[in-house]
Amino acid sequence: MYFRSLKPAAAAVAAVAAIAPKDLKIDDPTSIKGVAKTIAAGAMSYYSGTPDKFVDLPQPHYWWQAGALMGSMLDYSHYTGDTSYDKLISRALLDQVGPEFNYMLPSHFGQEGNDDQAFWGFAVMSAAERNFPHPDENVPSWLQLGENLWNSLASRWNTTDCNGGLLWQIFASNPNGLDYKNTVSNGGFFQISARLARATGNNTYLEWAERVWDWTEGVAMIDKYYNVHDGASASNNCSDINPVTFSYSAAIYLYGAAVLADHTGDQKWAKRTEGILQAAGSFFTPFSNATNIMYEHACEQVYSCNVDMRSFKGYFSRFVYAASLYVPTIQSTIDEKWHTTALAAAKACSGGDQGTTCGQKWYVGGFDGLAGLGEEMCALETIQGLLVGDAPAPLKGKDIKTVRTFA
Ligand SMILES: *[C@@H]1O[C@H](CO)[C@@H](O)[C@H](O)[C@H]1NC(C)=O
Ligand SMILES: *[C@@H]1O[C@H](CO)[C@@H](O)[C@H](O)[C@H]1NC(C)=O
Ligand SMILES: *[C@@H]1O[C@H](CO)[C@@H](O)[C@H](O)[C@H]1NC(C)=O
Ligand SMILES: *[C@@H]1O[C@H](CO)[C@@H](O)[C@H](O)[C@H]1NC(C)=O
């Protein structure tokens, strides 16, 4: 990746000016930062929280997406060095811990499944791995919050059917209640297990990561070609795999595998990382006029992406870029596919009054009129992640500390 060899931009000091996304220069870190700044502001325009208070995203966004947004913004801060949102991010993560300090929040139980909780977990783990400021002495450290959240997920491992696995939902009252087991929930548990294994060195997390991966393959939700299918019903003992694939489920497993490649040094995890990425080639090139441009094939071409799905490509990019730090062999695929996609995404961020609003379909050659928070987050993660190689790698062990003050 060519800009890796460039000198890292003067660390986090010089403020970069916002740049219109359509002017993105992909080999220039200052241009990437300027574009990311514009899109980050676009994404945050949907969030009305303050440094003193978390506020739910407007309807129809669910609670999980606020956790996902904080994850995107943690990456924004880390990759660009622009700390202007840090207090707001920190407050959101601290305000949503719930009475048990594990992101089980009674006021949001109506919207909380295992996958929803996991998305807050991804953000909390990123905060821990970066010594992100944690100013509140009444709340446990980011790492402890991650461990608490993990224990909550682990307590729901359910062996009634399918030989194990997490159900999608936690509460019977939610749609699909206690019948569907899916990869986003189990992948979330897998990835958080992997990250905790690496961060703490505690083998319990490694054993669970192995168990969740083996379970997922055992029920064939990950098939022999490394496609990550959506899920199956517990009442059929997970024999009726729902074959639909979403980009984010693949990426959630992919990143967990990459973390374990680093943590264990075992080649099987690098192979699994590469295998999922290869299978995830299905999320590119919707038409011959759009070679190597990413799309969510379950919904984009038929206009059926719901508010959740509209953000999935963002997590796909987030976790693939992050995985490249641990499994460098995937870099050639990133150079080939993500560079083309980042330019297409930037071109799609040309709507609205300012000419900077992001669209959904990146293969149309411009803004397609479908705007929203998900669209902003997808473009943000796909563009800012180009900087991953210049930012410090995730911390672990004794290097993880609790930092009380903001820089
Ligand atoms: C375990 O899963 C079954 C379905 O396989 C479900 O009926 C049951 O309620 C689940 N148990 C818990 C504690 O969630
Ligand atoms: C249910 O599925 C699991 C996992 O595939 C399998 O090990 C088990 O034998 C199945 N049980 C029944 C009753 O079919
Ligand atoms: C390892 O993690 C598990 C799960 O959080 C915890 O119960 C156990 O006490 C930890 N072990 C050590 C040695 O810290
Ligand atoms: C590529 O082809 C598809 C399908 O015909 C079309 O929707 C899309 O707008 C085209 N993209 C460009 C850049 O022309």
In this model, does residue 10 exceed pLDDT 80?
no
Ligand 4 pocket, CB under 6 A: 287, 289-290, 363-365
Distance between Cα 25 and ligand 3 center (Å): 46
Positive or negative: CA dihedral 124, 126, 131, 134: negative
C-beta 162 within 6 A of ligand 2: yes
List the structure tokens of 27: 């080999």
The architecture (CATH level 2) of 21-399 comes to Alpha/alpha barrel (1.50)
Ligand 1 pocket, CB under 6 A: 158, 160-161, 167, 178, 234
Q: How confident is residue 407, by pLDDT bands cut at 50, 70 and 90?
A: confident
Ligand nearest to the CA of 367: 4
47 pairs with which residues across the strands?
none
> Is the preceding peptide bond at 175 cis, omega within 30 degrees of 0?
no
Cα–Cα distance for residue pair 127/131, rounded to 1 Å: 6
Supply the pTM of this predicted model.
0.96
Distance between Cα 215 and ligand 2 center (Å): 11
The residue extents of the domains of the chain are: 21-399
pLDDT, tens digit, 9 for 90 and up, residues 224-253: 999 999 999 999 999 999 999 999 999 999
Between helix 63-80 and helix 373-384 the angle, nearest 10°, is 30
Q: Is 65:308 a contact under the CB 8 Å cutoff?
A: yes
pLDDT, tens digit, 9 for 90 and up, residues 20-39: 999 999 999 999 999 999 99
Ligand nearest to the CA of 366: 4
DSSP-derived letter for residue 167 is B
Most ligand 4 atoms within 8 A of CB, residue of 284, 287, 350 to mutate: 287
pLDDT (0 to 100) of residue 306: 97
Specify the 3-state DSSP secondary structure of 216. helix
List the structure tokens of 85: 């949102």
C-beta 237 within 6 A of ligand 2: yes
Distance between Cα 304 and ligand 4 center (Å): 18
C-beta 204 within 6 A of ligand 3: yes
| Atom 9 (ligand 2) nearest CA | 163
pLDDT, tens digit, 9 for 90 and up, residues 262-280: 999 999 999 999 999 999 9
pLDDT, tens digit, 9 for 90 and up, residues 112-136: 999 999 999 999 999 999 999 999 9
| Atom 6 (ligand 4) nearest CA | 364
DSSP-derived letter for residue 105 is -
| Atom 7 (ligand 4) nearest CA | 364
Cα–Cα distance for residue pair 216/210, rounded to 1 Å: 10
List the structure tokens of 243: 């074959």
In this model, does residue 99 exceed pLDDT 90?
yes
Which H/E stretch holds residue 351?
strand 349-351
Q: What is the mean pLDDT of the chain?
A: 95
Residue type, 282: S
Q: How confident is residue 13, by pLDDT bands cut at 50, 70 and 90?
A: low
Q: How confident is residue 14, by pLDDT bands cut at 50, 70 and 90?
A: low
Which H/E stretch holds residue 232?
strand 229-233
Distance between Cα 60 and ligand 1 center (Å): 28
